[in-house]
Amino acid sequence: MTDELPDELRAFVAEQRDGEVDRGLRTLPASELGEGDVVVRVECSSVNYKDALATIPKGQVARISPLVPGIDLAGTVIEGAGDFAEGASVLAHGYDIGVAHHGGYAEYARVPAEWVVALPEGLSARQAMAIGTAGFTAALSVARLERHGLSPERGPVLVTGATGGVGSTAVSILAARGYEVMASSGKDSRAYLESLGAADVFGREDVAGDGKPLGKQRWAAAVDSVGGATLAGLLGQIRYGGAVAASGLTAGIEVKATVIPFILRSVALLGVDSGQCPMD
Ligand X SMILES: NC(=O)c1ccc[n+]([C@@H]2O[C@H](COP(=O)([O-])OP(=O)(O)OC[C@H]3O[C@@H](n4cnc5c(N)ncnc54)[C@H](OP(=O)(O)O)[C@@H]3O)[C@@H](O)[C@H]2O)c1
Q: Which of 39, 173, 181, 226 binds ligand X (CB under 6 A)?
A: 226
Considering only the stretches 110-118, 143-151, 181-189, 262-270, report the one whose residues sit in contact with ligand X under the rule CB under 6 A: 181-189
Minimum CB distance to ligand X smaller for 172 or for 274: 274
Q: Between 51 and 107, whose beta carbon lies closer to ligand X? A: 51
State the minimum distance, in angstroms, from the CB of residue 223 to ligand X.
10
Q: In terms of C-beta density within 10 A (0-12 exposed, 13-18 middle, 19 or more buried), how is residue 153 classed?
A: exposed
Strand duo 268-271 + 238-246: pairing: parallel
- Determine the Cα–Cα distance for residues 248 and 143; give it in Å rounded to an integer: 16
What mask of x and - would describe binding to ligand X in positions 75 to 114, judged by CB under 6 A? ----------------------------------------
- Of the candidate spans 72-80, 117-125, 247-255, 256-264, the one that interacts with ligand X by CB under 6 A turns out to be 247-255
In angstroms, how far is CA 210 from the centroid of its own chain?
29
Q: Where does this chain touch ligand X (CB under 6 A) — which range of 13-21, 113-121, 161-169, 260-268?
A: 161-169
> How would you label 220-256 residue by residue, b for 16+ Cβ within 10 Å and e otherwise?
bbbbbbbbbbbbbbbbbbbbeebbbbbbbbbbeeebe
Q: Which is nearer to ligand X, 17 or 187 (CB)?
A: 187
CB of 230: closest distance to ligand X in angstroms?
A: 6
Half-sphere CA count of 69, side-chain side, radius 13 A:
24
